[in-house]
Amino acid sequence: DIQMTQSPTSLSASVGDRVTITCRASQSISSYLNWYQHKPGKVPKLLIYATSSLKSGVPSRFSASGSGTDFALTISSLQLEDFGTYYCHQSYTAPFAFGPGTKVDI
């Protein structure tokens, strides 16, 4: 089964900061990598699919890149509403898997 890792585990940043979260797969997953945002008491929300495609309605300050085993999510100018936990997710092959998450505090 494919394992996903993320770093950092958590980060604290200020409004306007540029933030990058990295994700690594235990084997190549091509571009089958997605990113979700999860806030306490809310339902997880899809932000990015297929490595770098922004879901409709997601602010353009979010971007992502990568291929194979190494991926990254960047928030170009952090906003207050961006707090929460971010998860990468591989859907290359079942069983699918989420990364352990990166908690973003502002």
Partner 1 sequence: EVQLVESGGGLVKPGGSLRLSCAASGFTFSSTWMSWVRQAPGKGLEWVGRIKSKTSGGTTDYAAPVKGRFTISRDDSKDTVYLEMNSLSSEDTAVYYCTADQTLGGVIVHGYWGQGTLVTVSS
Query: Which residue do the tokens 């979260």 mark?
Result: 21
Q: Would you say 5 or 77 has its CB closer to partner 1? A: 5
Please name which of 6, 32, 18, 27 lies closest in space to residue 63, comparing C-alpha atoms. 18
27: contact with partner 1 by CB under 8 A: no
**Among 53, 67, 77, 79, contact with partner 1 (rule: CB under 8 A):** 53
CA 44, chain centre distance (Å)? 12
Q: How far is the C-alpha of 37 from the C-alpha of 26, rounded, in Å? A: 22
Residues of span 70-89 touching partner 1 by CB under 8 A: 85, 87, 89
55: contact with partner 1 by CB under 8 A: yes
Structure tokens at 106: 């502002």
Residues that bind partner 1 (CB under 8 A): 1, 31-34, 36, 38, 43-44, 46, 49-50, 53, 55, 85, 87, 89, 91, 94-101
